[in-house]
Structure 1
Amino acid sequence: SSFTSIVDKLNNLLSNMNAPEPTVILTGDFNFPFVKWTKDTHNGCRWEINSSSTTLDEKAQFLKLTEVVDKYNLVQAIEEPTRERNTLDIVFTNDISIFTHIEVLKSSLSDHNQIEVTTNFKTNNRDINKETPNYGGETDFWQLNFHNDNVSWYTINKEINDIPWHILFNEKNTETCINILLSCLLMLCIKLIPRKKTRNKSKIPRERKKLLNRMKMLKREKHRTYSKIKEKMLEKKIHETETMLIHHRKEERRTKEKKVIENMKNNPKVLFDYINKQKDRDTKIGPFKIQNEYIYDQKEICKLLV
């Protein structure tokens, strides 16, 4: 089955780890609602199967997974329900001591609860020098915004035609003529075409960044509070902030789509850029569960949806 092949790939990845053994964190929606997890004194969880609510295939899949994680000493850290009463989203690691705080929160962004894991990892903020740095477009032409709506191409073409090229190129070799051509075009473009605006490194809109910072602040405050009343109040504020984030993303998407529609006639490149960005999105669905049987094949899922 697809699940077995995934577990086999996982086993292959873990078996090829270099020595010394790196820290491993394996997480995801494993979708084993029949498994109950109970945390022990070492912060790892032991499992227990409810055989009355599972099939033999599902049980075999889970045991196949446990065989691999036990082989590489991976411990599961989540005991709280992550969807309704079931613990579907789980986190394995071979070093449970790196988790300093684990919290499972209800989320407005998904029907699954949100797992937040705080670790004692420290990142190394070294600058990585690339052997072949990407071309950044530092030439004068690249600094100009040729797609600006205010560019008058009629004026540019007229001025190009008015230049006495035959006089400038007279008795000049090819290389000199090219340099003259580029110099004239550059002077003309600098005169009539605006420069590109300097973009901020962060592409996150300011409003959304404020909401994300507010979310961090509320969660930090929730971790510190000992009052149940205040904790519930903070949870409510977190949900409200998540709802605002969802609304902001929807509005941003609508604005982008509206802008594409308005400009695609005059500038088709806008439409193609938008389509190409959409291609990078993960649009897969599934697996589907029908009568205790999981369906992973995309064609089969499509047939069921028709």
Structure 2
Amino acid sequence: MELSVYYQNTRGLRSKTQDFYTSSLSCCADIICLTETWLNEGIQDGELFDLNTYEVYRQDRNLATTGKKDGGGVLIAVNRKLSSRSEAAWTSPGICEDMWVSVSLNPSVRLHVCCVYVPPYATEQNLMAHLNTLSNIVESRPDDRFLIVGDYNVPKILWTLNNSRNCFIATVVHDRLGECLVDGYSLLNFSQYNGVRNCNGRSLDLVFSSLTDVKVTTCDLPFVEEDLHHKSLNIVVNINDECRLKNGTSYSKFKFHHANYDIINREINDINWHNLFLDIDVDAAVNRFYSIIHQIIRRFVPQKKINNKFPLWYSANTKSLIKEKYKFHRRWKRFQNNLDYVNFSNARKAVRLAIKKDYRDYVANTENNIKSNCKSFWYFVANKRQNNKLPNTMSFNGNVFSDDENISNAFSSYFGNHGKEEEGANKS
């Protein structure tokens, strides 16, 4: 099975959200990795992606760990036809920013994707903290596959193609930071696959993998304008296993506002929780609790099938161009004919232009018809406000918490006090 990955160092998205959004709509990549997003809590996932198509995982720059307010930030978006989950516990300490997402390709095959940004002021100790965390993750999962992409900002390495292994090896390393990076990945037996060079003849953005069949090429149609020092990349990962994909055109969503909460409350109250959790450890108790709750949700919360083939505002012409683009792409993949690729490339550009025009018309119509059709306006706003990201900080009793342990303790205090208040009210 082939997986397509798009990578770009975007050099900030806050002023490019509309261009990025329309570009992402025409993207066929299974996974999208971005560095230097410069995003914050004021930018919602729905402003960047169609959330019916992509599951978005973000790690915006954290002031508490990096000491910087702006810049940085990494993002991974995974097509919903793939089963994915965030691995927040794998984040390395210090100023190197990384985001981990696990993709389950079948019950026994998992690909772990990491998007990394190492700032230019990082020291050898900072890089070692990232590499040590990576080493622990890889060594504890010897049967899994790994793909690490990102901006390492290590310019003093000359990467040379090794034809026998079809990857790039470091033939010249001019500083200790580069030696640290090369040694770290060599010990893991990972290969580096990006030989694309920037305007200075250097490769700052690197692609490491435990897999042996990875191809990296420049992207001739980047999402947003490229930075001269960072070329956008198309990465094709070939995994020689049978993989199961979910239906890529639709998925089901729970309609919690239509749930029968009277029955749900009765079901929960009728359960003898004490006996269920008797003589089992805390991990087994948590798993049993979630299993029961999920079963109740599936029984008493109705579901709605969401069709995510095209946004509502796509014109008939745009839909026709998209189908034509897929036709040329299939022909090119099958016959590897240069003419088919030229036709596919031209169709892809036409699709992107058509989507941008449709989106501009949609926004203009929404603005012009606010008085006569305010429902359309609020639908637009609600759609953009969608966000899969947990906030970086949480507040409780006038205190603000930014690290996982203190946030968890604050939740524990809140629910502990809430339970005591209910118990006191029942006694009175």
Q: What's the TM-score, normalizing by structure 1? A: 0.50
Specify which structure has the higher proportion of helix: 1
- TM-score w.r.t. the length of structure 2 is 0.38
Bigger Rg, which one: 1
